[in-house]
Amino acid sequence: MISPYFYFSDIAISSKMWWLELVTTNEALDDTHTDVCFYYLRKLLRYGPGIKINATTTDFAFDSLVRRLYDDFSKDPLVLVKQTSLLSYPIGLYMPCNTSWREVDHVLMPLRMYNFVHWILCHFDIKEMCLNTYNSYTKIVKEPVILEAVRPFSVMIPYLLFHTGFFEGKNIPEHEALKPLVVKMVPKLLQQKNDGDCGIYVIKYAEYFINEMLKEMPKIFNIAQVRKHLATRLYVYAKKKQVENYDTDNDWVPKDV
């Protein structure tokens, strides 16, 4: 156990195993790893110098809420109206450092595919009204499986937008606004070599996207070095918070995560 705990906004890390899983090649990341990293990406988007892209992210709870509701939603879309937690995301609430989707052009969503225990990145391009999916393991996790996993988001996100007033004043007919989002596969992505490294690739895809450097991604990652670098950064942030006792939602983060 770690005492005192490391706090990343509302996420408390008390176990040394959390750090070991983060630095160990081929070790799968859990939802707290991705939530911590995407929290810092949101802070980077809000406070980082030189960041020009206008975006926010979701978290693992969003992924879980959408999947859990989808079957009931398929029978009656109005069940969404009572889901205050889900409806909070597009209006910029529920997560620390969230931003209203009316104020951004992109939403980056880490999604976990339960059948494969595999993370993918789903990028909601608001201007194009499409979902771009980033898959780091195409030789194993094929396109039809990805499309099936992303379908609940393709279908439900337009309704989330509709019920939170996103389309107000846009002169878009309701039947057009509620059409499922087109899903696209992002080609020629850097691919993982080990089964458990998908979460790291999702984090790096998001980081390179935010810095508008996707086309400049290296052709190969030293995944052990990437993991150690990420863990070191997070440890330094958390330790600094303990020592200086400052507000976790307002501290600045450097350009690279």
Residue 214 belongs to a domain with what CATH number? 3.40.395.10
Identify whether 1 is part of a domain: no
Identify whether the C-beta of residue 192 lies closer than 8 Å to the C-beta of residue 198: yes
- How far is it, in rounded angstroms, from Cα 71 to Cα 56? 27
Identify whether 252 is part of a domain: no
Identify whether 251 is part of a domain: no
Identify whether 249 is part of a domain: no
pTM greater than 0.75 (yes/no): yes
Identify whether 151 is part of a domain: yes
* pLDDT tens column, 62-112: 999 999 999 999 999 999 999 999 999 999 999 999 999 999 999 999 999
Identify whether 27 is part of a domain: yes
β-strand pairing of 106-113 with 55-57: parallel
The residue range of the domain holding 208 is 6-244
Identify whether the C-beta of residue 58 lies closer than 8 Å to the C-beta of residue 90: no
Identify whether 254 is part of a domain: no
* pLDDT tens column, 164-181: 999 998 888 999 999 999
Q: Domain count of the chain? A: 1
